């Protein structure tokens, strides 16, 4: 291949436009002298349609961008080096397109000037910048932090821009992002949901948000913090999602307050144990998600305070509350963190224990009954504060909450009928 043919081939296959324009410095007229094949591919139209645009490009430029274009022509004619400008045109199909133009003066003869120009399509980049700015402007009204990311769906590269303070700003680039999401320190329990959000955003135009935990990537904390990612899909010119961009905000303090409020809402204020709703919900979750993994099974225990009405009637409700609070403390101190302990009625309590045999459940119930009886040795309480206890075991007496509760309640009823202050295991009476 001759040198001339080689150069022509390179120019025509350049990804973008390589052009030459004749500019009259007096009339300010602009006329194309040469347009490479790349400019036709970039604008996506036939030669006649693209030629029509460049015959008088000013007719296609958005009026708001005309001052930028005219200043760019002035800079080219000044011949002080390369001039650059960005402006929007109405393309032949009616769509808006951002063009970035780099131009140099090539020759001058009187008022006639020849300029060499490179034109690139920067529509996608401008859309991303505009969306990030919209999100940033909105989120900065709410938060002091400024963390944005741009995930390129084609290259599987994500760029995080992290501004921890005005003085401390840096970029983090992650290649092979979908497989390396854990590199951002996202908690293993949140990784799958984060990936699914991105996959959904990549499949169609989409807005979404997710709350997740991360450690050490966005800040220097040695513990997990809560963040919220607000994301949006950016469509490419080809009609599919090219980028997923987002804004990440630190919501840790608000999340901690939310957990604190939920903790208070889930717990009984008098005894510190879970309330009825939270107790049942947690036991149902255990039975649904993992009770079968416990080789020794489990046990549901219902405890009812004997003669409690007499305590209230004799000593008053204030004294009765002290008794209930003390019982709650004894129950709490006799169980591990993985056990569920709750107050489900005025003087009624419930416990669910994982990994325990029926025999051990009975021994524990007996120990608990004795501890509560022995805690109230004052003359006015001695012998009056005792517990009747009913026990049902998983999976022998049921594999769901309703079955276990029904059988433990029947065992409790049998304990009451047997003189109180004792425990009964369902199926042994």
The CATH class for the domain spanning 267-425 reads alpha beta
Strand partners, 249: 228
Catalytic residue check, 64? no
**pLDDT 10s digits, 245-266:** 888 888 888 888 887 777 677 8
Matching CATH topology for 3-121 and 267-425?
A: no
Provide the CATH topology of domain 3-121: Beta-Lactamase (3.30.450)
**CATH no. for 125-252:** 3.30.450.20
> Is the per-residue pLDDT at 160 higher than 60?
yes
Range among 37-41, 203-207, 265-269 rated most confident? 37-41
Choosing from 146, 304, 306, 347, the catalytic residue is 347
- Buried-exposed string 60-90: b where 16+ CB fall within 10 A, e elsewhere: bbeeebeeebeebbebbbeeeeebebbbbbe
**pLDDT 10s digits, 92-118:** 888 889 999 999 999 999 999 999 999
What residue segments make up the domains of the chain, in order of their start? 3-121, 125-252, 267-425
- Chain-centroid distance, C-alpha 297: 36
Distant-in-sequence, close-in-space partners of 117: CB < 8 Å, separation ≥ 6: 17, 18, 19, 20, 21, 101, 102, 103, 104
**pLDDT 10s digits, 225-249:** 899 999 988 887 677 888 998 888 8
pTM of full prediction above 0.95: no
* DSSP-based three-state secondary structure for 295: coil
Mean pLDDT of 268-279: 90
**pLDDT 10s digits, 322-381:** 999 999 999 999 987 789 999 999 999 999 998 899 999 999 999 999 999 888 876 566
| Better-scored residue on pLDDT, 119 or 379 | 119
């Amino acid at each position: 291949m001759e040198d001339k043919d080689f150069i022509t081939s390179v120019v025509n296959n350049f990804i973008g436009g390589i052009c030459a324009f004749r500019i009259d410095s007096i009339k300010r007229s602009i006329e194309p002298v040469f347009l490479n094949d790349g400019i036709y591919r970039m604008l996506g139209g036939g030669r006649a349609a693209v030629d029509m645009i460049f015959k008088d490009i000013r007719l296609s430029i958005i009026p708001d961008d005309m001052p930028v274009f005219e200043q760019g022509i002035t800079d080219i004619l000044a011949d002080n080096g390369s001039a650059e400008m960005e402006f929007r045109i109405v393309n032949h199909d009616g769509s808006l397109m951002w063009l970035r133009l780099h131009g140099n003066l090539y020759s001058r003869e009187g008022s006639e000037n020849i300029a060499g120009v490179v034109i690139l399509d920067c529509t996608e980049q401008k859309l991303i910048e505009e969306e990030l700015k919209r999100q940033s402007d909105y989120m900065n009204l709410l938060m002091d932090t400024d963390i944005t990311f741009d995930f390129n769906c084609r290259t599987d590269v994500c760029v995080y821009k992290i501004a921890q303070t005005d003085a401390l700003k840096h970029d983090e680039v992650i290649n092979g992002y979908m497989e390396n999401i854990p590199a951002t320190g996202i908690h293993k329990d949140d990784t799958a949901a984060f990936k699914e959000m991105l996959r959904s955003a990549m499949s169609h135009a989409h807005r979404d948000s997710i709350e997740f935990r991360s450690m050490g990537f966005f800040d220097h904390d040695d513990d997990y913090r809560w963040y919220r990612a607000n994301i949006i899909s950016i469509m490419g010119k080809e009609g599919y999602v090219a980028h997923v961009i987002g804004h990440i905000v630190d919501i840790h303090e608000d999340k901690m307050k939310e957990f604190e409020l939920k903790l208070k809402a889930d717990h009984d204020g008098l005894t510190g144990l879970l309330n009825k709703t939270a107790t049942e919900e947690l036991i149902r979750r255990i039975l649904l998600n993992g009770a079968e993994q416990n080789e020794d099974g489990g046990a549901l225990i219902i405890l009812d305070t004997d003669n409690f009405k007499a305590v209230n009637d004799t000593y008053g409700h204030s004294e009765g509350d002290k008794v209930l609070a003390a019982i709650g403390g004894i129950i709490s101190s006799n169980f591990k963190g993985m056990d569920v302990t709750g107050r489900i009625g005025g003087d009624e309590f419930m416990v669910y224990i994982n990994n325990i045999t029926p025999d051990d459940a009975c021994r524990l119930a007996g120990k608990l009954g004795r501890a509560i009886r022995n805690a109230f040795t004052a003359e006015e309480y001695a012998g009056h504060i005792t517990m009747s206890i009913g026990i049902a075991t998983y999976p022998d007496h049921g594999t769901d909450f309703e079955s276990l509760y029904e059988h433990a309640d029947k065992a409790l009823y049998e304990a009451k009928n047997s003189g109180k202050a004792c425990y009964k295991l369902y199926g042994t009476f």
